[in-house]
Structure 1
Amino acid sequence: MKSISICVTSDVHGYLFPTNYRDQKEASLGLAKVASIFNELKKDKQVLLINNGDYIQGSPFTYYFAKYQQNEGNPMIQAANEMDYDLAVLGNHEFNYGLNYLQQVIAQSKFPWLAANILDKYSGEPFFGKPYVIREINGMKIACIGITTHYIPYWEDSSNIKNLVFEDACKSATKWVAKVRDIETPDFVILSYHGGLECDPETGEKTEKHTGENQGYQICEEVDGIDLLITGHQHRFITSEINGIPVIQPGDNGQALGEIIINFKTENNNVLIKSVTPTLHYVDDRTEPDDNLIKFMMTNEKEVQEWLDQPMAVVVGDMKIDDPFIARLKGHPFITYINQLQMQVADVDISCTALFHNQSPGFPEKVTMRDIVSNYIYPNTLKVLKLKGKDIKEALEYTASYFILDSEKNIIVNPSFIDPKPQHYNYDMWAGIHYEINLAKPVGDRITKLYYRDHPLELETSYHVVMNNYRASGGGDYTMFQGKEVVKDIPTDMTELIANDLLERKKIEATYDPSFRIVKS
């Protein structure tokens, strides 16, 4: 009996070192720790190492090098080259810093980047060249096809994906699996999909709205010829089987290494698959980071840590976030500050923003760059949309579905914003208008009061509203924003806008102007 191990990382998001960057304590995450696990596995196994996307964006480390050291070699790619990745698949966040930056990254990689369904607008061919690769390992011919969620145009700034067409992931998988089977006659076909599962893998029950963002379950049901489906994007830890196809998803930020063990034997020049077993190797506090990778990258890390500790401004009052639930329920001075800054930069008087994640610490008394990037974790820019009052109300009705009442009439977070993937970033808090959310009302009919400048908001009147580019494109199921006129595009990264504002002001007041209230009756 022979065996091969397919090893997988996904959604590393720039976490190379075992740190969350909010402080300098060691954390149970990071590619350096994953590398230790991988190095042990490959000592006595034949391995193939796959990066399933969202690799070059997501941490202060990647932000620093993308914004300030673009002409230097990309340290994330240097690390990947050092680990001998066999291939990578493009994720949606690979496009966040623009196409030129992405092409630089690909040029520095010693391994191919796959994107079968990302096409050149003019030729109709895969834009990045390689839709799949073939590898011969231990007598087995393996094909790996790379597919990316086609939902990217709903989130990404259009300038970052100019002249690209994102073909439906399931349609593309059907085409390329059949083509590869026919042309290459492989023994084993891997579909590495930077997308997730839209249904529970055990029951088939839908777990999200059918947007097409995640099609893993559909692919397993409809595409013939797949021997293994690698998934990502949702940051989940999954080992399962759908329609006889083994499925794996190894979480995010380097918290686990996925391994799929293929046992097979060869008879009369034919490969006979005996078993395909997915498993996850979790990083923990006992996992030592890989020494070589740490030493190799230490100069880069020190540079980033020094940058993060740059002082920016002093806060008068309290802008720390002790309880993210209460901050969303009642509003918070940090959210007030972000909305006020957005309105100031855009020169409008209505704004919305979100508290992106539950680890957001707010601002301490002395604010550094570390505090900025710990709170504002996405490379967003700003857009001003021309919206009718009815669009604003529809958006508020959607955001009002974030909270529900439990059986004892306590306010809790709607489980649909937590499972299968936390989506706290899709609950917006607005400024420049005043509104009331009544949780006793049915979803879609909860906005019981809505005022602009002390008068009821006119549903047919147009208003200019500033928001981040993700939300302006309709991201997070805010479909009412899709296709709306962009009055103003502010291309400067929001993190940079915050830093510039703090450096100029030197001192900010922790003020809170309550623009909304949530009631239960």
Structure 2
Amino acid sequence: MKITFLETSDMHGYVAPTNYSDDQEQGFGTAKVAAKMKQLKNEATGPVVTIENGDFIQGSPLSYYIAKSQHPVAALTAPVNQLGVDVHVLGNHEFNYGLAYLKEAIASYRSPVLAANILNDAGEPYFGQAYTILEKEGIKIAVLGLVTQYIPHWEQPATIKGMTFQSIVETAKAYVPKLREVADIVVVSYHGGFEKDLTTGEPTELLTGENEGYQLLHEVSGIDALFTGHQHREIATKINGIPVVQPGFRGSFIGKIELTVATDQGHIRVVESEAALVPVADMAPDEETLALLAPITEELDTWLDQPLGKVVGDMRIVDPMGARIKEHPYIEFINRVQMAASGAHISGTALFNNEGKGFGSTITMRDVITNYIYPNTLAVVRVTGAELKEALEQTANYLAVADDTIIFNPAFIEPKPQYYNYDMYEGIDYTIDLRQPVGQRITSLRFEGKDVAMNQHLDIVINQYRAVGGGNYEMFSADKIIREIQVDMTELIADYLKAHPVIEATANQNFKVIG
């Protein structure tokens, strides 16, 4: 018998096949996934198990609008319920809108929601279920749900109060042997990825515990298949003979694993396995799925197209890399918004990806939300001059020189682009000299016309993700936060534009990058 597993992960609230910046149909989205999944289920010759591996309720203008409007989160999760998903796993971005919203989302799902390694004070799964056992045509299939343990480095402490995030390896070592005793097949669905090269075993990132997939498959025996996510990678392979998939993001692929099972001396065992990624781009979006959100989609378009302000000059981004090495008016604008909202005299922000187009002559909410893609709030941290310099040295590492050209360091593009971890500051004057050794590249650092003293105390406004050390910026931490601005950054941008309906596209070139 052949058992087919179908996985989605990191769909990030994309239902219709749109990136929301234009009218062109894109090759992703839950509606396309739904159409392809119907086809795959019809083609399957045996039982089918469907897994939703997390990061669904945050990430798109649609999910943002639902979270900030009067619509219940159930309106967003309805398309996933219609997929007929057997099991859900929490992702890290499920926490972004707070614990109450997360619990509301969990309650809206029709299938079990798993997170074995998030524990309460009693050492039990905080969200109720660690695993589920599905019975398909007489075969018992255990699904263990795991989540990246790194969430405390990104979320506000209040959101995760009373939770302990355990290593997935430690958790799996406890659960997998027990599940082998009660189930015929044991699979793991992990909202996390791989910390090492899948072939050589060489580390591909700092071994912080954010991703533990490689260690899991080398230290825990008894796993028949592994479903992953979080890194937005496209993976279909075998590691130690175990089939593994990771289906990209926004619903561009479905991860597919087929396990062929046979009965051997009364025991069911896997005799063959295959892993594949199934693209959905060629599918027409499922009309029933689109219909679920049609009324909200109309509201959303009206909301996105509302004008907020006008630009004098040019604030468009045509060269994302150029905007990182020479200050761009859009970056200066975001920093100015952060400084105005916080009262801080120094601000840091990033150009999160290479898809943002900046602002045209008229700024709409669509422009704001497709450029500033995360639901960040702000925090002001008090640090020393030495800690600020350390942060700048770290951000300098995201740049490199190749053939006399400044590029984004390839080490931070593969396996997952980390454009969001390269920060650009306003309120200080600094120079990054890439000719110098790592750790000595900040050759000039001045504040208010004077060299920054290493023991000097400075207040800096950054997003909350960075303020608690996100992106491995260990010089920042929650204990250095002196105040928080508990308003979503998108709203702060909109409010700033209401107060300043005409803005000038200027950049004071307060930082310089030398190659």
Structures share fold, TM-score greater than 0.5? yes
Distance 1:503 1:154 in 2: 33
Shift of 1:76: 2.5
Shift of 1:465: 0.5
- Residue in structure 2 matching 1:199, options 196, 201, 205: 196
What per-residue deviation string (whole Å, max 9, x for no partner) do you get for residues 249-278 of structure 1?
011000001111111223554213221111
Secondary structure in structure 1 of the residue aligned to 2:132: strand
Secondary structure in structure 1 of the residue aligned to 2:420: helix
- Residue in structure 2 matching 1:477, options 472, 478, 489: 472
1:52–1:232 contact (8 Å) kept in structure 2 = yes
Distance 2:68 2:496 in 1: 18
Paired letter, 1:351: S
Q: Which runs of 5+ in 1 are unaligned?
A: none
Alignment of 1:400 with 2:396, yes or no, is yes
Which residue matches 2:123? Answer: 124
- Residue in structure 1 matching 2:347, options 338, 346, 351: 351
Which residue matches 1:106? Answer: 106
What per-residue deviation string (whole Å, max 9, x for no partner) do you get for residues 476-499 of structure 1?
111111244211111100001111
Alignment of 1:18 with 2:17, yes or no, is yes
Distance 1:73 1:438 in 2: 48
Shift of 1:138: 2.6
What per-residue deviation string (whole Å, max 9, x for no partner) do you get for residues 237-258 of structure 1?
0011122221110110000011
Give the direction of change, closer, same or farther, for the CA distance of 1:471–1:73 in structure 2 (3 Å limit).
closer
Distance 1:29 1:100 in 2: 29
Secondary structure in structure 2 of the residue aligned to 1:37: helix
Which residue matches 2:246? Answer: 249
2:132–2:144 contact (8 Å) kept in structure 1 = yes
Q: Alpha carbon RMSD of aligned pairs, Å?
A: 1.2
| Count of aligned positions | 513
Which residue matches 1:63? Answer: 64
Using the aligned pairs only, state the percent identity. 47
Which residue matches 1:7? Answer: 6
Shift of 1:21: 0.8
Shift of 1:74: 2.2
- Residue in structure 2 matching 1:230, options 211, 227, 237: 227
Runs of 4+ in 1 over 6 A off after TM superposition: none
TM-score by length of 1: 0.97
Alignment of 1:333 with 2:329, yes or no, is yes
1:387–1:484 contact (8 Å) kept in structure 2 = no
Which residue matches 2:134? Answer: 135
1:4–1:138 contact (8 Å) kept in structure 2 = no
Paired letter, 2:66: F
Distance 1:307 1:5 in 2: 41
Distance 1:267 1:347 in 2: 70
Which residue matches 1:265? Answer: 262
1:154–1:474 contact (8 Å) kept in structure 2 = yes
Paired letter, 1:503: K
Shift of 1:393: 0.2
Distance 2:113 2:497 in 1: 39
Which residue matches 2:408? Answer: 413
1:386–1:484 contact (8 Å) kept in structure 2 = no
Which residue matches 2:77? Answer: 77
Distance 2:173 2:143 in 1: 14
What per-residue deviation string (whole Å, max 9, x for no partner) do you get for residues 486-521 of structure 1?
11111100001111111232211111111110113x
Shift of 1:458: 0.7
Distance 1:357 1:61 in 2: 19
Which residue matches 1:456? Answer: 451
- Residue in structure 2 matching 1:380, options 376, 383, 389: 376
Q: How does 1:297-336 map to 2 (within 5 A)?
A: 297-336=293-332
Secondary structure in structure 1 of the residue aligned to 2:19: coil
Paired letter, 2:343: D
2:73–2:101 contact (8 Å) kept in structure 1 = no
Shift of 1:177: 1.1
Distance 1:69 1:150 in 2: 32
Q: How does 1:260-299 map to 2 (within 5 A)?
A: 260-267=257-264, 269-284=266-281, 286-299=282-295
Paired letter, 2:466: R
2:73–2:104 contact (8 Å) kept in structure 1 = no
Alignment of 1:95 with 2:91, yes or no, is no
TM-score by length of 2: 0.98
Paired letter, 1:85: V
1:388–1:460 contact (8 Å) kept in structure 2 = yes
Q: Which runs of 5+ in 2 are unaligned?
A: none
Distance 1:379 1:38 in 2: 30
Shift of 1:24: 2.3
Distance 2:115 2:206 in 1: 25
Shift of 1:30: 0.3
Shift of 1:170: 1.2
Alignment of 1:432 with 2:433, yes or no, is no
